[in-house]
Amino acid sequence: DSAFSQTRLQLQDVETGEMILLDVTAGEQGPSEPVRIVYDGEVSTVSQATDLMKPASSSGKTSAGQSRAPGQDDGTQARRQPVRYSAPLPVLLTRYAAQSLYAPLRTLEAVPGVHPVSHHLPGRITTLYPSAPLTVTPLAAWGAGGRTVVALKLTSTVSRKVVLDPRALQGNFVTATFQHRWLGPAGTPEDTTTLYLVTEGRPDRAFIAEPARRNATAVHKTGGSVRREVSRAD
């Protein structure tokens, strides 16, 4: 509740993932009222949303000049059209995942309906690329339109170059995209890359289940007989 000089705020639309930058300032005088960001027109694509977005007046007036209570819907949300994507959804999801991990947030391209999801995958995956000397670790996942993109870290474990081949991946995937097409020897800056997999629905159902691992073997002697107990990981 005090005055401050011009400050830049970075907001993100939770529905589309779109980044919004606002320059705000406050003075000593004047009422404290909420500010809404509305789209002036019907929004059906991401590119239109960028062109049509503008800050709403804090005076509590709609574009028609009618008064409304702060936070009240002025009817623009009801005019939203069904979601239409500017490119194939797997392409948009893959690009969104790569930008989320490696690009500045202000350059993140919005995807309608995108949201973070839990991938429900183990910390290390051995069934995805069994023919290559790699360690595979899931990083994050995002979903939109009934599909999910999973980002996984691939790290070489051998002292030679490893060429990556999407045909060697084991599982049921819509698309597979490597950040780089090869890995350098282990211990070099080039020994790690990222793989983006797009799946239908929950990502864990697209992967081959990890084999049960034998944790321990215990031998007990009871009355001259030997009883062997084997515990397995779930």
- Residue 22, SS3 per DSSP: strand
The answer on 97 and 73 residing in a single domain is: no
Residues 6+ apart with CB under 8 A from 161: 182, 183, 184, 185
pLDDT of residue 79: 56
The answer on 182 and 98 residing in a single domain is: yes
The answer on 69 and 19 residing in a single domain is: yes
Q: State pLDDT tens for residues 162-194.
A: 999 999 999 999 999 999 999 999 999 999 999
pLDDT of residue 49: 44
User: pTM of the predicted model, to two decimals?
Assistant: 0.62
Distance of alpha carbon 187 from alpha carbon 147, whole angstroms: 35
pLDDT of residue 55: 46
Helices (H), 45-143: 46-52, 89-102
Which sign, positive or negative, has the C-alpha torsion 204, 207, 211, 216? Answer: negative
The answer on 14 and 59 residing in a single domain is: yes
Tell me which residues of the chain have a pLDDT lower than 70. 1, 12-19, 31-33, 35-81, 213-234
In the chain, the number of structural domains is 2
The DSSP result for 141-177, as a single string, is EEEETTEEEEEEEEEE-SSS-EE--GGG--B--SEEE
The answer on 67 and 94 residing in a single domain is: no
pLDDT of residue 215: 55
pLDDT of residue 46: 46
The answer on 181 and 94 residing in a single domain is: yes
The answer on 130 and 109 residing in a single domain is: yes
- Residue 197, SS3 per DSSP: strand
pLDDT of residue 45: 46
232, part of any domain: no
The answer on 107 and 196 residing in a single domain is: yes
Number of continuous H segments (helices) and E segments (strands) in the chain: 2, 13
pLDDT of residue 85: 82
Distance of alpha carbon 156 from alpha carbon 161, whole angstroms: 8
Q: State pLDDT tens for residues 95-114.
A: 999 999 999 887 888 888 88
